[in-house]
Amino acid sequence: MFVKSGALFSSRCSDMVLSMSSSRTARERVRAELTREITDIARSQLATEGAGGLSLRAVAREMGMVSSAIYRYFPSRDDLLTALIVDGYNAVGEAMESADAARPREDHTGRWLALCHAVRDWALAHPHEYALLYGSPVPGYQAPDDTIVAAVRGTLVYGRIVSDAHGAGSLTPPDICPPSPASFAEDAARVREIMPEVPDDVVARALIVWTGLFGWINFELFGQFKNTILDPAAAFDHSVRCQARFLGLPA
């Protein structure tokens, strides 16, 4: 009932095993089903209570199960959180992807703006989940590598925009920055896997702009702007437009 084709998906795939739906045995199917149900309930708890309010026992209760049964699916609370984080990264990543795809490929500035607003909109719609991804790491919890690779998905979109703009020759960054430090060359090379062909200087700017985007959203979402910004949407839009110019995108 979850794999109806055109249906609205309230759940997000997190487990490897889930991706190959209608798997062999009935037991495996119901296991996948239950796993998904657990993450769904957990996600709704996360949305209402925040990461700290996520309780395995409450999830079990809501499922009509006994708490110990949950441990057949997630060996610990942290593993559940990890699954939610991976889901979250995929969700923002998807939001970024479709926002980007909705713009003509050569409208680099428009793609960047759409990307930014997609992130902010998603963050406002899922504040606790956003906090889980881009806020402080959850107490006593160390992000496993799974989450890191999931986190890259959104960054890929960004990288493509920058790379496309550079490739099209429409990237004319203002000449205001000092040269990047020598130690940055290697980093830039690594980042270039995500935004090919882009010179070091632009890579550096791209990082600044990218962190600036999330820095702004964090401030807005985590209350640092309280009593300061009256029209957050407009201010945000202006901010990312400026960032675009700093990066070298056309107005």
Query: Taking CB under 8 A as the rule, does residue 204 contact its own copies?
Result: yes
Among 5, 24, 142, 145, binds DNA (CB under 7 A): 24
Two tokens, residue 121 = 């909109």
Rounded to whole angstroms, the Cα distance separating 36 from 9 reads: 11
**Closer residue to its own copies, CB minimum distance, 41 or 235:** 235
Residue 44 binds to DNA (criterion: CB under 7 A): no
- Write out the binding residues for its own copies, residues 32-71 only, by CB under 8 A: 49-53
- The values of phi and psi at residue 112, to 5°, are -60, -45
Cα distance between residue 30 and residue 185, in whole Å: 50
List 19, 68, 98, 211, residue binding its own copies (CB under 8 A): 211
Residues 6+ apart with CB under 8 A from 39: 11, 12, 14, 80, 83, 84, 87
CA distance 129 to 45: 10
CB 240 within 8 A of CB 112: yes
Find out whether 156 and 194 touch, Cβ atoms under 8 Å. Answer: yes
Among 119, 151, 171, 198, binds its own copies (CB under 8 A): 151
DSSP class of 53? G
Residue 134 lies near its own copies (rule: CB under 8 A): yes
Q: Is residue 104 within the footprint of DNA (CB under 7 A)?
A: no
Q: For residues 97 and 104, is the Cβ–Cβ distance under 8 A? A: no
Using the contact rule CB under 7 A, the part of the chain among 56-64, 94-102, 180-188, 197-205 near DNA is 56-64
Nearer CB in complex with its own copies: 74/130: 130
Angstrom distance (rounded) from CA 127 to CA 186:
35
Interaction between residue 75 and DNA (CB under 7 A):
yes
Binding span for its own copies by CB under 8 A among 66-74, 93-101, 107-115, 185-193? 185-193
26 touches DNA by CB under 7 A: yes
Helices marked H in 194-231 = 200-221
Would you say 101 or 148 has its CB closer to its own copies?
A: 148
Asked whether 172 and 123 are in contact (CB, 8 A), the reply is: no
Q: Indicate whether 235 belongs to the interface with its own copies (CB under 8 A).
A: yes
Q: Please report, as ranges, the residues that interact with DNA according to CB under 7 A.
A: 24-28, 30-31, 34, 54-58, 64-69, 71-73, 75-78
Q: Please report, as ranges, the residues that interact with its own copies according to CB under 8 A.
A: 49-53, 131-132, 134-140, 143, 148, 151, 174, 176-178, 180-181, 183-184, 186-187, 190-191, 204-205, 207-208, 211-216, 218-219, 222-224, 226-231, 234-235, 237-239, 241-243, 245-246, 251
